[in-house]
Structure formats: C-alpha cells, structure tokens
Structure 1
C-alpha cells in the first residue's frame, strides 16, 4: 500500500481503520487492553503511525500535548531535554467530590454498548485561509456583529449544509455540538497542561426550518452565544449534575442523526511534531466516535489558518452535500500534490 492509496480516493478508504490497534474498542476495554497503543504500519513509500488512546484518560488537548512531548524527547536525541510544557497530573474535582466516584451499576452490560453505524461515507473537505476569512466576514456582517470567530462561522456553514443535505422536515429539532475545552472556563482555571478529560459537548439547538430559513450570520450568532454562555457556572452545573446522577456516554444512543457534532480542533498542533521521518503529510482517524453528522476538525497541511474537516454522512446525504452550492463554494477537495510524500507520514489519531 502506498501513501497515495490512502490519500487519493475521494472518500477515506475503510482500510485506514485497520491501521489502528484499538479498532472497534470502547473505553471499558481499558480494563484489559492498553490505555495507549501505537501501531506502526510500513507503507511502500512511507509510514503510518496509528495512535489509540482511551478517552477516559485524556481528551484531545491532552492527547496532542502527549504527542508534542514525545516529539521533543525524540528530537533531544539523548542530549539534555527541555520539555516546553510539562504535564500537570494533579487531579481536579469539584469541592466535596472525588476521587472515588461510585456508579449506579452492578454489571458492565448495564452501561457498555457496541454499535455499528451502518454505511457511512467519510470525506475530507479543505478550507483555505482565504475562504474561512470570507465566511467570518460574511457571518459578522449578516449578524451585525464583530466577535464571531472563524471556527464558529465555519461550523455554522457545516451545520446548515448538513441539515439541508439530510432533507430534514422544518419542525425537526437539530443540534450543533462543540467539543468544548473546559480548562480555561473554570474559575480558577486549570492549567493548559492539565492531563485528563476536561471537555463538554456544548450544545446549540433550533429547528431545521429556523436554521435554513435564516442566513449564515444568524446560525453563527447562535453558536457564538452558546460559547459565550459556557462559563464556570455552566460547567459546574453540568459536572455536579452528573456526579449526583452518573451515567456513561454511549455514542450510539447519545447522538441522533439530525444533528452535527464538531469534534477535535484546528488549533491542535498536528503537524509540528517530528520523529525523524519528516513532516506528516496528512492526519486521519479510525472508526471510533463516527456517526451521522460527526465532523472532525484538523489544521490544514499548509497552515496559515487553513482547516480540514472530515465529515461522516450516509451516501445519499454526502452526495447532496457535494452538490450543495453554498458549501462547495467555500470548500475545496484537492490536496497539495506537491508535498514530498517520500519523507512524510500519514498520522493517525
């Protein structure tokens, strides 16, 4: 297999899933399987590094911090090591709780479920810095605002486009969720280097009719307000509510096919880590946390604020998205064909 056979197809090929050691695993499997697994697959013209990490242990922020430290250790090459940001392992709990948290279950069958999502197409769409700047300017102008961010503008476009592609009835409730990092939202804040799972699925809700009946700026302003409202008080309310009535996340039951989940972040430094093989040429993810409407955000290969989005949809909906004029006028689907793949590595997550 070559790098081109992984990156060239229109859709992410299913073989990518087999390049991760923990394919089809769930968090509870961490009782018997490693919490961290690295699978290295030698390709004809490169290397694929597939990293699987139990989500109970870390979130995306900690995950990419781990990669950065590992890269710095490698580049030290036995010389004096100066880690730029040491990990912080001091556990955080709300006052009066922890460290042991009893769960209201007697058997794993009560909270562990495995699911098959059915037929999904996974496709990478690229958004250049110029395209994202236009989206941001449009969203702020249409909402008479100047504080809507680039990612909120891009997410509003994706939300509207996916709802339209799914042909939802006007009265159907639809949500757009962000994987929100809570470290800096707590008061006092946790350090950015805090190792753990400190993330919330921040949710914005409306109906399909309202979402498509208004413009991009209206949708972006809804998302912006949800982010503004996600404060220390909101985070504590959610966490204490969970501690009082614990439940276990089960993606197959939690996420309905009428909404969008924006996962990961283009702010994560995915291309700045180096292990003697040259800069990674692309980032791909495995089977975990994939369902209708799941969108995974990566920084674009060329940097500069560019973004790659991996979108998961049923075949019919994906075809509709590919024909959506508003969406495709902002997205491109061609990769940088001048990158030197002989010294690069597709990197997994």
Structure 2
C-alpha cells in the first residue's frame, strides 16, 4: 500500500476569524526557538471512527471539514503566529541573518482534505508488524521539510483524511514556534472551540505570547550565517527504519517502578524514581541490547523536557513557544547492561533533577555567544535513544464532536534510529504507548527480547 492511494480532494488556507492587533508586530523568536531551525515540524495525527450521524443528521464529511475550518479560524485568533510565516533578513556585510515571524505574511494555515479506500483495521490492527507506511501520507509535509523552510511554507498545516470507516486529522506545526506542550495545547483549544459552537471557552488554556528572553538580547537575535547551508543540514534516516507501537499497562509500569526503586534503595538519589523514568530506563537497555553494541561504546540517552516550571520565576504552562532542553545522560554499553534497571533509572533521575534554572540560563548564555542549530545526525544514531513527547499531554481529550480518538500516530518528521515517541495509553490510568523507531534487524531483536517483552502488554 503506497502513498498513491491517498487522493487529494481540496486545499485551502485559513486565517484568523478576526483581526488581531498583536499580529501587526514582529513575533520574535527566542534562543530555544531558533535552535530548532534544522529540525522537522512537529507532526501528530488522531484517528477517529467515522460516525453515521452527527448533530442528529446523517454524517457529511464535507460539512465536517467546513466546520473544522471554521473552528480553526476562531482558534487562530488566539494562536495568531501560526497563520504567518518566517521572515529572514540577511545582512551579508556583517555575515548575519535575523529570523522572526511575520504574523500577517503568507496565505495563512494550510488545510487539506483527502480520501483513501482503506479501513481503520488496515492501519491499527494488532496483526500489523509495523505502522503501515501509508500513514505518513496522512500528513501534508514529508521528512525533507525543516523548520527553516517556514519562510516559504505555512507554519501550520492540517490534513483531514477520510477512510472508509474513519477520519484522520493530522497537524504539522513548525517546531521553532511550538514544543510538545504548546503543540498539544493548540489541539486542546481547537477541540474545545470546535465543540463550543462559538460559545465562550475557558481562558485557562489560551496561549501566553509574552516571549521569554535573557536580559540584554538584541531583537531579532542575529545568527552567524547568510546562507541556508551554513546552518541547516539535511537528514536522511536509514531506508529500513520502521515504527512500531508498544503498549505498557499501568500495572506493568508500576512493576518496573517498584523494581527500579528496590534496586536503587542504597542510592543517594534525592527522591524516588518515577514511573516514566523506570520505563525509559527499561526501553533504553532493551534498545542497546537490540542494537548489539560493543561493550566500550559510549551511549547517550536524551529526554526532551519543558523548562517552564524549571525557570525562576517559572513560566506559565501555556507559554507559547519552544521552551525545551535535551537532558543528556551518558554511560557505556557495558555499564548499562551489566548493572540493573534501578542503576540505569537512577542515572536518568539524576540528570532530570540537575536541569535547573541556573543550567538553562547558562545554556542560553553560551548559545548567544555562539549560536547553532540542533542537527539530527549529531543526536540520533545507533548509540543514542531519544524520548520525545510525553504521556502527560492530553491527546485523547480532543474529540471534535465525533467521539474520542482511538489512536495517536506520529508523522514522518523527526524520525531516526532510537527515537521514541511517548503517548498516554488509550485506556488512561497511567498506561503508556511508545512508538519506537528502529531498523528492521534491531526491531526484530527487540521483539525477541524476553526481558523487554515481559513488560509489554497486549
């Protein structure tokens, strides 16, 4: 089943329903936004069952699409930067570029409607060895588009794909404008506005656009390049990279946490190991075994975490922007595999505890002295595992009037060897789904790893 099976129906553009006074000013990007220029857009999609009726009338996909565009235009009043484009000003004499968002540049957010003659079971059947590649075509952008390209491409693209018995809504948003927290807050607000039918919604989730900059920043921040190739690197994952979702029940995760804390009882950690830290350690060790790395190989575990509550004073949870930092933990394959789960989990725990306001400020201060971008090839390979997204994000609460989603999938962007996307489990209650990206041989080894699979729930 290939990409050609998806048939485009229509494409249009959506702008904020009402004029936004703040959108007339440049929307400046902070250091933690600009460092993402060479990464891909954040891409996730929600799969729904297609209802037979909606609002006491026979369901019409065309009416549903029109309603989605209407609610999106209302949502963009609050998330107005997503309707703009990046502006790149080049100063060749001083060998600098300055990048910010022009909120009124371009045609707005792109909205696509497509159709495909497959069923929900063709995608999400437990009999599938991997996530079918056709899912990638449910997203408007492919893995070649990076955030820097937001000066030519819309910063937000929505694609609605109609299946024979389902609906897939996919959002691709420029990663310089949002991190996972801001991304899923956009989904949550859009869903709430859609269900409210134009009625007033709660202000508690509306985005905060006051930008966070260290003192003394020159805006827009000057970057030391005048040509794309000086700052941006293209990344091509292995051709045999595959994705598979593994489900962990709340009981299974509780057992991992209990085991990790018992094994770590003599450690000098400042507090106990969390459920997610224990799960991450379990997955890290399993992927290293699956990749069959030499014992002296230096390993990296990267967990992308929000800085909002770590800053002093803290930023509000609905601060809009990319406010994350990678938490790096290093060890060797020998140390990781010869020690127990609790030892690995305690390493991750200490790294997380050490991400403080002082560390974030020092990181940003150093970056301003010598700006650079994150590049996939520097962080994602056989020696690394990267945990992205979070099971804390409200993914299944986005109903759009057609009922609760039945599955979450990631798009083609930001996928590489050892990348793991974390989602809340469908049944809730602390369960977690992990979408793992590995080459075929490593994935086969992982699925034959008894220690790993014992914790996986059906």
Choose from 222, 242, 245 the match for 1:102: 222
Aligned with 1:248: secondary structure?
coil
| 1-structure distance, mates of 2:339, 2:386 | 21
Aligned with 2:224: secondary structure?
coil
Q: Does 1:249 align with 2:374?
A: yes
Choose from 244, 248, 263 the match for 1:142: 263
Q: Which one has the largest radius of gyration?
A: 2
Shift of 1:330: 0.2
C-alpha contact (below 8 Å) 2:380/2:419 kept by paired residues: no
C-alpha contact (below 8 Å) 1:132/1:150 kept by paired residues: yes
Could you state the TM-score of these two structures normalised by the residue count of structure 1?
0.93
Could you state the TM-score of these two structures normalised by the residue count of structure 2?
0.71
318-327 or 296-305, which moves further after superposition?
318-327
71-80 or 184-193, which moves further after superposition?
71-80
Choose from 233, 238, 248 the match for 2:358: 233
Q: Which residue of 1 aligns with 2:276?
A: 151
Q: Which residue of 2 aligns with 1:114?
A: 234
| CA deviation string 1:311-339 (max 9, x = no partner) | 0111111111101111100012x4xxxxx
C-alpha contact (below 8 Å) 2:301/2:386 kept by paired residues: yes
Q: Which residue of 2 aligns with 1:297?
A: 422
Q: Does 1:171 align with 2:291?
A: no
Q: Which residue of 1 aligns with 2:129?
A: 10
Q: Which residue of 1 aligns with 2:444?
A: 319
Q: Which residue of 2 aligns with 1:124?
A: 245
| 2-structure distance, mates of 1:81, 1:219 | 44
Shift of 1:29: 1.3
Shift of 1:98: 4.2
C-alpha contact (below 8 Å) 1:72/1:83 kept by paired residues: no
247-256 or 27-36, which moves further after superposition?
247-256
Aligned with 1:158: secondary structure?
helix
Aligned with 1:326: secondary structure?
helix
Aligned with 2:309: secondary structure?
helix
| 1-structure distance, mates of 2:219, 2:379 | 26
Shift of 1:71: 1.1
Aligned with 1:51: secondary structure?
strand
Q: Which residue of 1 aligns with 2:317?
A: 192
Shift of 1:249: 1.7
C-alpha contact (below 8 Å) 1:69/1:83 kept by paired residues: no
| CA deviation string 1:70-129 (max 9, x = no partner) | 111111112233343221000010111243211111200112222221211210000000
| 2-structure distance, mates of 1:242, 1:303 | 39
Query: Gapped runs of 5+ residues in structure 2?
Result: 1-117
Query: Gapped runs of 5+ residues in structure 1?
Result: 335-349
Q: How many residues align?
A: 333
Q: Which residue of 2 aligns with 1:345?
A: none
C-alpha contact (below 8 Å) 2:281/2:341 kept by paired residues: yes
| 1-structure distance, mates of 2:436, 2:220 | 37
| 1-structure distance, mates of 2:351, 2:211 | 27
| 2-structure distance, mates of 1:63, 1:149 | 24
Closer/same/farther in 2, CA of residues 16 and 98 from structure 1, 3 Å limit: farther
Backbone CA RMSD of aligned residues: 1.1
Q: Which residue of 2 aligns with 1:74?
A: 194
| 1-structure distance, mates of 2:215, 2:237 | 39
| 2-structure distance, mates of 1:227, 1:253 | 21
Q: Which residue of 2 aligns with 1:21?
A: 140
C-alpha contact (below 8 Å) 2:286/2:446 kept by paired residues: yes
Larger fraction in strand = 2
